[in-house]
Amino acid sequence: MSRKLRAGIVGGTGMVGQRFIALLENHPWFEVTAIAASGRSAGKTYEESAKGRWKLSTPMPENVKNIMVQDASKVEEVATDVDLIFCAVDMKKDEIKALEEAYARTGTPVISNNSAHRWTPDVPMVIPEINPEHLEVIAQQRKRLGTETGFIAVKPNCSIQSYVPALHALKEFNPSKVVVSTYQAISGAGKTFADWPEMLDNVIPYIGGEEEKSEQEPLRIWGSVQEDGIVKSESPTITSQCIRVPVADGHMAAVFVSFEKKPSKEEILNLWNSFKGRPQELELPSAPKQFITYFEEENRPQTKLDRDIENGMGVSTGRLREDAIYDYKFVGLSHNTLRGAAGGAVLIAELLKAEGYIQPKQ
């Protein structure tokens, strides 16, 4: 590549926006050249706008401190000098849809962390190792938006990454029924313990909207590209409960699953340990070498010990056992703001670049 692609971060002052900025520091393919946020932050340097609000344990990268924050609503201005945009804004769903489509119509690829377009039929919602073929729907989307180069691609909900990869690796046995309970970190709500002290020594058995996402989004991931867009799969049947727990980062899932054709435990472990997807084939910069890691120890995976596996881009499993009601049960774990949010979106962008969907603007 003759030069790095210029990336804009829309919603750059929030927690996920900060993750994008940290992940793209020294990235071999992308560099942050523009940051946009609400009108309150516009006109300040990024260092000034994020003062007192930097939530990551690592320091703010030097190369973004003096970037002047732009008004995210001034789409043409922000899009002028970037080759792609990562979007992580806190707005109403209809407003996000309109904003992302406006950016796409400027001819700019938009990789979104938001949920607004996850069910738009011609917008691919991608876990790169699982459904890279869904990128084919971009051609339909471009026709609808009237652009040759712009489009929107989205990443799915952070919690499903803790169990969907493990189930996908076993698709040849046709999982039919899934019960999953997720135990989700406070960073999934954009919080730290400093600004959410009520979560210390506490568990909240409800996260708005999460259960529907956990039950429905995997079916879209496993859906098929058809003439009118992506049509979701009819199986497996998934039921879930989503619980907020006093953990900084990392979403854990307790999973029960039945199959149409029951595999052996050895077959499951072999498929998990050997599973590779398109990112591994292409050796993308952010791709984990080992996508799914199985722990033999009875007390693993643990959130604190294992969420950062493969730089936070791997998925951990453990406690695989036969079950008295379902065929098997196991535990899954993923890092919710890396694999589940900003890191997953960066990996999507790498896949899009490698497959020719993102090109430098002339």
Q: Which residues are catalytic?
A: 158, 251
CA distance 181 to 166: 15
Closest CA to 256 of 322, 173, 158, 162: 322
Q: How many CB atoms lie within 10 A of CB 105?
A: 17
* CB contact set of 188 (below 8 Å; sequence gap of 6+): 158, 159, 207, 244, 251, 336, 337, 340
CA distance 68 to 226: 43
How many residues does this entry show for the chain? 362
Question: Would you give the distance in Å from CA 212 to the centre of its chain?
Answer: 17
Q: Encode 73-100: b = buried (16+ Cβ within 10 Å), e = exposed.
A: bebeebbeebbbbbbbbebeeeebbebb
Question: Would you give the distance in Å from CA 273 to the centre of its chain?
Answer: 22
